[in-house]
Structure 1
Amino acid sequence: MHDDTRLIEERIQRFSRDHLTDAGRREQVPVRISAHALPGEPVPPARAIAADDYRDIEVGQSWGRAWSTLWLHVTGTVPPGWDRPEDLCELVVDLDFTDMPGFQAEALVFTPQAEPLKAVNPLNSSLALQAGQEIDLYLECAANPSVAGGWTFAPTDLGDPDTVPERELYTIRALHLQRSDRRVRELGRDVRALAGLMRELPEAGTRRAEILRGLEAALDVVDPDDLPGTADAAREVLRPLLARPAHDSALTVMATGHAHIDSAWLWPVRETIRKCARTFSNAIALMDAEPDFTFSVSSAQQYLWMKESYPGLFERIREKVAEGRFVPVGGMWVESDTNMPGSEAMARQFVAGKRFFLEEFGVETTQTWLPDSFGYSAALPQIAALAGQDDFLTQKVSWNQVNTFPHHTFSWEGLDGTSVFTHFPPADTYNGTLEPSELAFLERNFKEKGRSDVAIDLFGFGDGGGGPSPEMIAAGRRAADLEGSPKVEFAGPEQFFDRARDSYPEPPVWAGELYLELHRGTYSAQLATKQGNRRSEALLHEAEHLATLAALRADELYPHDALEEIWHDALLLQFHDILPGSSIAWVHRDAERNHASIRERAERIIETSLAALSRTVGPDDPDTGEDEVLLNTAPVVSRRGIAPYSAAPAPSRGEGVSVMRRGDRVALDNGLVSALLDGRGEILSLIDGASGREAIAPGDSGARLQLHRDTPNAWDAWDIDAFYRHVVRDLDAPTSVEVDEIAGGARITYRYTTTAPAGSSAGVTGAGSEIAKTFELHPGDASLQITIDLDWKERRKALKLGFGLDLRAQVMSSEVQFGHVDRPIPVNTSWDAARFETCAHRFVHVAEGERGVALANDSTYGHDVLRTVREADGGTTTTVRATLVRSPEFPDPGADHGIYSLRFALRPGADTADAIAEGYRTNLPERVVPGGVARAAAPLARIEGAPGVLIETVKLAEDRSGDLVLRLYESHGERARARLVLDVPGQDEPKVAAVDLLERPFGEDAPSHLASLVRDGGDGTEERRGAGSAIDLDLRPFEIRTLRVVRA
């Protein structure tokens, strides 16, 4: 026979497009429509339904200025004659759908009693009805604009309600009752399943040819002019093809319904709440129709929104959770970023999330679920495991720009050696559809084939919501046991991970961070949001510590409710499109306002606590001799020499700072560090007084401000592409220099103004950015303080602060949660080359041997490092740079424009301990407090014998028992034996238990190394008494230890 394969394939494609798309639509009946417009913010559904100004409208009516809401009241009767077994009765809605679900107009259908029924989205735009049914429904239609705009990354005015155009964006294209034919719909699903499978099979294979001929025979049987009458006959032709079982060796794909809903992104938080209601309503409606369908949802915050705003829907969710079909996963408050949140904040994501799931549903999650965050900290495995999260899932690393990650199923080993069982869904998406092309790619892509026989697929429309659709369920059912396809099994994440562990008991190990070779610009975009985050974390640390002191030493009521509320707000703002700076202007304006609220509320707690502590000292007490003292809430000695977690009078600063001017140069020296600044405001020399070692490389400088063109190929707010380094401009000479004496020290300020090159879009017409760079050196301080003040007006530019150091450093140590990571500086591999911008918390450190240079910051996360060999002397220069600010134009065209102040501490001769201390000092500076606080603010706990063991958190227990909780960690990366000395009121011989992050005793599953919790033995899993108030602790490198001091 002649080869007619292409002809038949084209016939199948044309027939499917022309005749099967509408599922045998047979009849339409109009409905009555009236409308109530809300041009501003949404109102509660009950109030909108009760409005008295609904007016009649018709199909074809335009509607919806961006971000407005239109309520539609729809009434009518489904014809009673639409009652045959093959009839499908539906309300069909088209609000001008042109895009994927979640990225444009969408709606939620309500009863007159304001109970949500189901969402209406693109690709899932109908509501099932019954013959003869009287309908009385309300549709809340959200005119959400398509901010993405085809993903051209062009600046848009749609992300800010103050700049959106006045025009209406949409037209009601359809709203009617429709009768379709069930038989035609099922034929369409059969054809799509088989045709899709056929296209994935080898062209020369027998199975592909068999399917081709079967589809050809079915098309010969079916009559396009009588689809309902001939659909069953065509399905009979296809039945044997669909009944052919999968091979025994076929991969099993465990499919779980999912909708990764971004808690904010191209829409504000207020819209996310409605997106959750729409998606969760869809899922529950699908569960009612499909008894084996399960739906997995992370983010306790999203459940809380439902409880607060949609209580009826929340109760239905609770019912489905009890059935095991609506599955809480992740154990976190939100799907947060994991690069930038601080130590305690990362822990509290799990504490808050898991407590919510336990209290509301009685569910203990065990899977960390972060499919879309922008890289994963090396500290995460330990933090997750200490919260009882044994498994980890993401797919984001599949987005790598350069290197393909070598595993899909593996053991991820963190900073301290803790491992979590990890799986990357091989479909490389969290928006799966279960279509044959997706399943075939999954199987081809799965790197553990032959070692493991199971993988997971997350199906459902995500990002902007929507969730699984009936078509996805139908596709999965047809692939359950189908020759040529992986075997699809509907299941939840727990069932998958149990099966995967059994299938692959000895997986390969990946040690260290899961660095994403993309979205590196998120370490620096939206500086105001990042500064708000860092300050909120510091204030929460202080508020909890001082409230604990006030509760234990002054009998002040501990503000559990207030602190919990503040933490929840702060954790939401660490969502992986808020803190990284990749959201619309509306989101970041809200974030800045909310961080201001967090600061205000935390400061009130601090003020109340200090007042209570002051009242503990009588007027005749000798401690009141000082009007003011310095309070140090950091776990290291403060810059002025105050002990950790203590208050004391300010010590003498010692000798002053000498200042010498030589032409345009200024020399500073305090005996511990000397610096020489040139007329450009750059450091020509920086000498460690203890060693006499010069830190600045010959011919180079420090504190150089460099401006880069920042024009990535895509994903503007997200990305910095490697070619940004090709174009760099050092800032021009300063316009002024000011030298001042301050409290025995010196301050030198250099002021700059940028100008845009002719023809450039950078800058604002008639005005450049204004920058002030200030150096301060104080008596007794081994670090040079640098402050950068910005009035930033650039567009698509990045500003770096660079230091050319005379060091041949092999690694750059960067702080992460509860420790630091060492990243190689030499670029030996493609993995090294791809890691050209990295994230650090409060410090970076480069060294030869133990000593080198530390750079601490108060709000900067993005850094890069380069190493070059000098021609003049053959020495090596290591250049460390901090990314101060960017100015991308999508999705927020005004991103980063504004006034900022950034602080740095530059310390020569620094070892790791010095770097850690500088990070704390820069972020938790001393407070000036009333003198009466000094004795009451004495530390409740202190560490002796191990300077690397730090007490990160001091708080009262979450269960409100009044127990004291201490969270400490080993910070140097080496084993440590420390003595913990307690001074807890009323506890001469305190009882101490090692607990997990949720402050629960470990019980029989206690890690074996906790056997040394107390000096005289014991397994550390129960309350134990130390010798008096001292307890000996052995910690592994970077180990986190949470201790609960049980108060009688």
Structure 2
Amino acid sequence: MHNDRTITEARLKRVLDERVRPAVYPVSVPLEVSVWDAPGEPVPVAEGLAAPRRPVEPGAPWGPPWGTSWFTVAGTVPREWAGRTVEALLDLGFDENMPGFQCEGLVYRPDASPVKGLNPRNQWVRIAESASGGEQVLLHVEASSNPVILDYHPFVPTELGDRETADAAPRYRLGRMDLAVFDRPVWELVQDLEVLGELMAELPEDSPRRWEILRAVERALDAVDLQDVGRTAERARRELAGVLSAPAHASAHRLSAVGHAHIDSAWLWPLRETVRKVARTTSNMTALLEDEPEFVYAMSQAQQFAWIKEHRPEVYARVKKAVAEGRFVPVGGMWVESDTNMPGSEALARQFVHGKRFFLEEFGIETEEVWLPDSFGYSVALPQLVRLSGSKWFLTQKISWSRTNKFPHHTFWWEGLDGTRVFTHFPPIDTYNSQLSGREVAHAVRNFQEKGGATRSLAPTGWGDGGGGTTREMLARARRLADLEGSARVGFEKPSAFFEKAQAEYGHAPVWAGELYLELHRATLTSQARTKRGNRRSEHLLREAELWAATAAVRTGFPYPYEALDRLWKTVLLHQFHDILPGTSIAWVHREAAQTYARVAAELEEIVGGATAALAGDGTGGGTVVFNAAPHGRGGAAAHGAVVARPAAEHSGQVVARPREGGGFTLGNAWLRVEVDGRGLVVSVYDLEADRETLAPGAAANLLQLHPDFPNMWDAWDVDHFYRNTVTDLTDVETLELTDGGVVRVVRAFGASRVEQRISLPSNMRRLDLETEVDWHETEKFLKAAFPLDLHTDRVAAETQFGHLYRPTHTNTSWDAAKFEACAHRFVHLEEPGWGVAVVNDSTYGYDVTRSVREGGPGTTTTVRLSLLRAPRFPDPRTDQGTHRFRYALVPNASVGDAVREGYRINLPERRVPGDTGVRPLVEVAGENGEAVVVSAVKLADDGSGDVVVRLYESLGGRARARLEAGFAVAAASGCDLLERPGSAVAVEDGRILLALRPFEIVTLRLSRA
């Protein structure tokens, strides 16, 4: 019997490949083809349609990297085809194995109306369902010659990733450009045989059902005349009808298919190309919706809707109509499918604000499911933000990529930092680009971990990454699998319908508390340091711009820049997409990102400058006003919630700087004594108040360490644990000097690179400041800055959005060991009872912590390392070459509250503006636990009402009672969600609002001005 099976499987494959599939198009005639090659960047549709053409033949080369060619195809339907279905087959030179990663096209009619997209798995255009014969055919194709970057080996460095470095050689050869008869019965036979063949292959060897299918397939193959497939296709299908009509078992798993095309907003293509990818895919999907009444298509990323609205309004009109009909479904509720590790607190909140608001304003739809299939791990802050945005469900698939531990659930409640829970689903089909193949469907059933408690899962169905979407073949599979013995039941439905049924069935699902850490792609926390610095700087400038503009608007009538802030926020949010901010896109994307961040900074600096000047007055008295947007206050002192402006005063305290015996220098202030040795390394940071040393005995801090960095896969994405096996300490020094300002300057050279560091103590702070400038010209190296601390602790606090989370410093379990590189925002903090240390930074995200027991005596060394730079060569062969600047600081005797304050301070330096009077903060937080409450945003309401919106959070992980004091007359106040929609009224007494916050709770208040 085994021999029968293998013979039949081999027979089925050959008959399908060599006889049945080719017979889908039994006769064809060539089309006349002409082309115009756009000379530079893409042109408007009207220009492309009107441009002069030259004749071209199939087989002709076309398309330099990133070029655009406009093809015109013309022909006449033969008279003898009357009554038959006719399609145009337009092959731009596709490789069917690489949908989404190569050339693509969008077909237009002569009147500039879009027809559908072309891609490797979707090359047909319907001309006539039942031709009359003699019809004239005239179509135009906007074809994009995107080069293949990934290829079949994804790690080969290439210069094709930027138009500025790519060559001009054509990348493609034009394929078949024909009119052809489409034989529907043969096509249906192909679908029958594929579905049954794939199902048969997944059933157990001893399954009677497997052998029933095999015998039916044998009979069908016997019924096909291989010399006349079209005439005998229906006869063959009748032999399969019995096994195709056998119903699924009552206990069969239910698979909710959702049409989908995961489109990366940038990755192996630039942002401008994504605009066209979205237009091509949505044209395809709206056309398919018209043909297939059971089909439902879901699309995330408000930015992508906005792009086609702006750049392809003719396509957007079709999308908007399909959305109104309820079958083209906006999902996700975010501006883009962003990274969630690195965006700051407000940025992650604004992803929901701008995404959900777009869908509400454009379509009147409140999206309820957060759709993030492909981001590289998920912040513990997300559940609270999901609920505060008005959403209630969460979907991802990426955790299935983890390499060490298999995640124990597919449907569960995810509990976030503050205790908020959100109903969550991981599709067990383990792909966001499902084809509904037999292998995939069977895997979903076998893999589903909630068997016995739940019966359904979701399958995002369609070609993705570079777009393409669902095909008619996938819909044909779904129809056959709707109720088929041996398979899961498959049917298309909206994501919301799936979630409602899943939650009703399995509301008692298990709980996962904490972050969803991806045990892969850890190097995304470091790759492309300029992009990460641009993001961090933009976020803090946006904080300042909103704060000072709102203060100036309330106090002086300064015109609040609503439009500019809305536009700038959306620009920054776009660049938090999960292949831009993580540093995993081609060179073109990161080159443009650097230019964009520079423009954003310049515009925000202008807004901040205008607002602070309006607040400070004309400055004719020669005074100076200091503006500080960082939280301040220590211990029980009142914390002025991130806003303070006052007349400048001289700094108190004194810094001592002198040569050190044996080489190097000693720095000191009222709190710390710091020793820098002859190598330019920090060998002592003595806490005078606590009378204890910060650093481990015999160890050196601010030690730069260099590792080889050649991961097994995914160069820009991954760092593997074995990188630690080899390390070079950078201790050779070229220059070591004490400058006039009491700053120790150290210069080192290593490899082809140089680094200059400036080590200093502020006069009035318990903090050692370290500024590092690296002229980086290494490849496949990893640069870290190490701080070996004399601390014994089993956990480290790492800042995340709206709080911090604890991670272990040990490797007791495989789950602990897998977190050998993790994310922190502005600080990491470690402590023994009563005494702790913070390391704060202005632009890094990756860090690691290790522990060792010292030789020759008791004591534990806990080493914190900041990840500074990498040098992967794919997909950008010149990743981070050039100059980089980092600021970080060591803060001894620090509580978590001190870490919060100093983390803000290093990112929000004081601004000094000519002026003669202090400026009272627009809002202040004070009271018994006021130091625990941090204001994350002060702004005017987005609706232009003039209301002041204040968002704040409990930052220490405990209960906080405090009061918000408004520096203006308040007529009324209410709590609101992230979208600033008012909720319940809040009592206000003399401009004061009493606050009682739970651990890490986020509160947004809307204050109406009297």
| TM-score, structure 1 as length reference | 0.94
Q: 1:424 to 1:23 in 2, by over 3 A?
A: farther
The one-letter amino acid of 1:41's match is E
Query: Residue 641 of structure 1: CA displacement?
Result: 12
Worse-matched range after superposition: 706-715 or 636-645: 636-645
Q: What residue in structure 2 maps to residue 1016 of structure 1?
A: none
Q: Please tell me whether residue 22 in structure 1 is matched to residue 3 in structure 2.
A: no
Query: Residue 1024 of structure 1: CA displacement?
Result: 3.6
Query: Residue 675 of structure 1: CA displacement?
Result: 0.8
Question: Is the CA contact (8 Å cut-off) linking 1:646 and 1:934 kept in structure 2?
Answer: no
Q: Please tell me whether residue 945 in structure 1 is matched to residue 941 in structure 2.
A: no
Q: What does the per-residue CA deviation read over 1:489-509, in whole Å, with 9 as the maximum and x for residues that have no partner?
A: 110100000010011010100
Q: Please tell me whether residue 997 in structure 1 is matched to residue 959 in structure 2.
A: no
The one-letter amino acid of 1:883's match is S
Query: Residue 741 of structure 1: CA displacement?
Result: 3.5
Aligned counterparts of 2:834 and 2:519: Cα–Cα separation in 1: 30
The counterpart of 1:753, out of the listed 746, 749, 769, is 749
The counterpart of 1:302, out of the listed 301, 304, 325, is 304
Q: What does the per-residue CA deviation read over 1:75-127, in whole Å, with 9 as the maximum and x for residues that have no partner?
A: 11222432335x44333324243542110011110112222210110011111
Query: Residue 6 of structure 1: CA displacement?
Result: 1.8
1:806-955, aligned counterparts within 5 Å?
806-932=790-916, 934-935=918-919, 937-946=920-929, 947-955=931-939
Q: Please tell me whether residue 63 in structure 1 is matched to residue 62 in structure 2.
A: yes
Aligned counterparts of 2:189 and 2:75: Cα–Cα separation in 1: 30
Aligned counterparts of 2:23 and 2:182: Cα–Cα separation in 1: 6
Q: What does the per-residue CA deviation read over 1:40-71, in whole Å, with 9 as the maximum and x for residues that have no partner?
A: 210111111112x2111111211011000110
Q: What residue in structure 1 maps to residue 778 of structure 2?
A: 794
Query: Residue 625 of structure 1: CA displacement?
Result: 5.0
Q: 1:647 to 1:737 in 2, by over 3 A?
A: same
Q: Please tell me whether residue 77 in structure 1 is matched to residue 76 in structure 2.
A: yes
1:10-409, aligned counterparts within 5 Å?
10-51=10-51, 53-84=52-83, 87-130=85-128, 131=131, 132=133, 133-409=135-411
Question: Is the CA contact (8 Å cut-off) linking 1:39 and 1:65 kept in structure 2?
Answer: no
Q: Please tell me whether residue 1025 in structure 1 is matched to residue 987 in structure 2.
A: yes
The counterpart of 2:658, out of the listed 657, 660, 666, is 660
Query: Secondary structure of 1:378's match?
Result: coil
Aligned counterparts of 1:587 and 1:900: Cα–Cα separation in 2: 18
Query: Secondary structure of 1:741's match?
Result: coil
Question: Is the CA contact (8 Å cut-off) linking 1:91 and 1:128 kept in structure 2?
Answer: no
5+ residue gaps, structure 2: none
Query: Residue 642 of structure 1: CA displacement?
Result: 11
Query: Secondary structure of 2:81's match?
Result: coil
Aligned counterparts of 1:604 and 1:779: Cα–Cα separation in 2: 31
Query: Residue 537 of structure 1: CA displacement?
Result: 0.4
Q: Please tell me whether residue 726 in structure 1 is matched to residue 725 in structure 2.
A: yes
Q: What does the per-residue CA deviation read over 1:638-666, in whole Å, with 9 as the maximum and x for residues that have no partner?
A: 99999641222333323321223123121
Aligned counterparts of 1:306 and 1:3: Cα–Cα separation in 2: 55
Query: Secondary structure of 2:903's match?
Result: helix
Q: Please tell me whether residue 525 in structure 1 is matched to residue 523 in structure 2.
A: no
Question: Is the CA contact (8 Å cut-off) linking 1:840 and 1:862 kept in structure 2?
Answer: yes
Q: What residue in structure 2 maps to residue 1008 of structure 1?
A: none
Aligned counterparts of 1:701 and 1:998: Cα–Cα separation in 2: 48
The one-letter amino acid of 2:725's match is H
Question: Is the CA contact (8 Å cut-off) linking 2:88 and 2:177 kept in structure 1?
Answer: no
Q: What residue in structure 1 maps to residue 457 of structure 2?
A: 455
Q: What residue in structure 2 maps to residue 1007 of structure 1?
A: none
Q: 1:945 to 1:198 in 2, by over 3 A?
A: same
Query: Residue 11 of structure 1: CA displacement?
Result: 1.3
Question: Is the CA contact (8 Å cut-off) linking 2:335 and 2:570 kept in structure 1?
Answer: yes
Query: Residue 671 of structure 1: CA displacement?
Result: 1.7
Q: What residue in structure 2 maps to residue 764 of structure 1?
A: none
Q: Please tell me whether residue 960 in structure 1 is matched to residue 933 in structure 2.
A: no
The one-letter amino acid of 2:776's match is W
Query: Residue 333 of structure 1: CA displacement?
Result: 0.3
The one-letter amino acid of 1:992's match is A
Worse-matched range after superposition: 152-161 or 582-591: 152-161
Query: Residue 952 of structure 1: CA displacement?
Result: 1.0
Question: Is the CA contact (8 Å cut-off) linking 1:944 and 1:979 kept in structure 2?
Answer: yes
The one-letter amino acid of 1:664's match is G
Query: Residue 1025 of structure 1: CA displacement?
Result: 3.5
5+ residue gaps, structure 1: 756-767, 1003-1020
Query: Residue 943 of structure 1: CA displacement?
Result: 3.1
Q: Please tell me whether residue 605 in structure 1 is matched to residue 610 in structure 2.
A: no
Q: What residue in structure 2 maps to residue 629 of structure 1?
A: 625
Question: Is the CA contact (8 Å cut-off) linking 2:631 and 2:639 kept in structure 1?
Answer: no
Aligned counterparts of 2:313 and 2:200: Cα–Cα separation in 1: 47
Q: What residue in structure 2 maps to residue 1015 of structure 1?
A: none
Query: Residue 706 of structure 1: CA displacement?
Result: 0.3
Query: Secondary structure of 1:142's match?
Result: strand
The one-letter amino acid of 1:33's match is V
Question: Is the CA contact (8 Å cut-off) linking 1:693 and 1:909 kept in structure 2?
Answer: no
Question: Is the CA contact (8 Å cut-off) linking 2:108 and 2:140 kept in structure 1?
Answer: yes
Worse-matched range after superposition: 76-85 or 227-236: 76-85
Aligned counterparts of 2:606 and 2:47: Cα–Cα separation in 1: 36
The one-letter amino acid of 1:1046's match is S
Question: Is the CA contact (8 Å cut-off) linking 1:46 and 1:113 kept in structure 2?
Answer: no
Q: What residue in structure 2 maps to residue 698 of structure 1?
A: 697
Question: Is the CA contact (8 Å cut-off) linking 1:979 and 1:1030 kept in structure 2?
Answer: yes
Worse-matched range after superposition: 264-273 or 866-875: 866-875
Aligned counterparts of 1:543 and 1:2: Cα–Cα separation in 2: 72
The one-letter amino acid of 1:1025's match is A
1:574-613, aligned counterparts within 5 Å?
574-613=576-615
Aligned counterparts of 1:168 and 1:646: Cα–Cα separation in 2: 60
Query: Secondary structure of 1:20's match?
Result: helix
Q: What residue in structure 1 maps to residue 673 of structure 2?
A: 674
Worse-matched range after superposition: 189-198 or 105-114: 105-114
Q: What residue in structure 1 maps to residue 682 of structure 2?
A: 683
The one-letter amino acid of 1:587's match is V
Aligned counterparts of 2:443 and 2:665: Cα–Cα separation in 1: 64
What CA RMSD, in Å, does the superposition of the two structures yield over aligned residues?
1.6
Q: Give the percent of matched residue pairs that are identical in Structure 1 and Structure 2.
A: 49
The one-letter amino acid of 1:141's match is A
Question: Is the CA contact (8 Å cut-off) linking 1:852 and 1:909 kept in structure 2?
Answer: yes
Query: Residue 450 of structure 1: CA displacement?
Result: 1.2
Aligned counterparts of 2:576 and 2:611: Cα–Cα separation in 1: 27
Q: 1:636 to 1:20 in 2, by over 3 A?
A: farther
Aligned counterparts of 2:873 and 2:809: Cα–Cα separation in 1: 31
Aligned counterparts of 2:935 and 2:945: Cα–Cα separation in 1: 21
Question: Is the CA contact (8 Å cut-off) linking 1:753 and 1:771 kept in structure 2?
Answer: yes
Question: Is the CA contact (8 Å cut-off) linking 1:265 and 1:582 kept in structure 2?
Answer: yes
Question: Is the CA contact (8 Å cut-off) linking 2:23 and 2:230 kept in structure 1?
Answer: no
The one-letter amino acid of 2:25's match is R
Q: What residue in structure 1 maps to residue 1003 of structure 2?
A: 1041
Query: Secondary structure of 1:21's match?
Result: helix
Worse-matched range after superposition: 285-294 or 72-81: 72-81
Query: Secondary structure of 1:1031's match?
Result: strand
The one-letter amino acid of 1:113's match is D
Worse-matched range after superposition: 785-794 or 312-321: 312-321
Equivalent pairs counted in the alignment come to: 1002
Q: What does the per-residue CA deviation read over 1:260-316, in whole Å, with 9 as the maximum and x for residues that have no partner?
A: 100000000000000000000010110011012111001000000011011121111
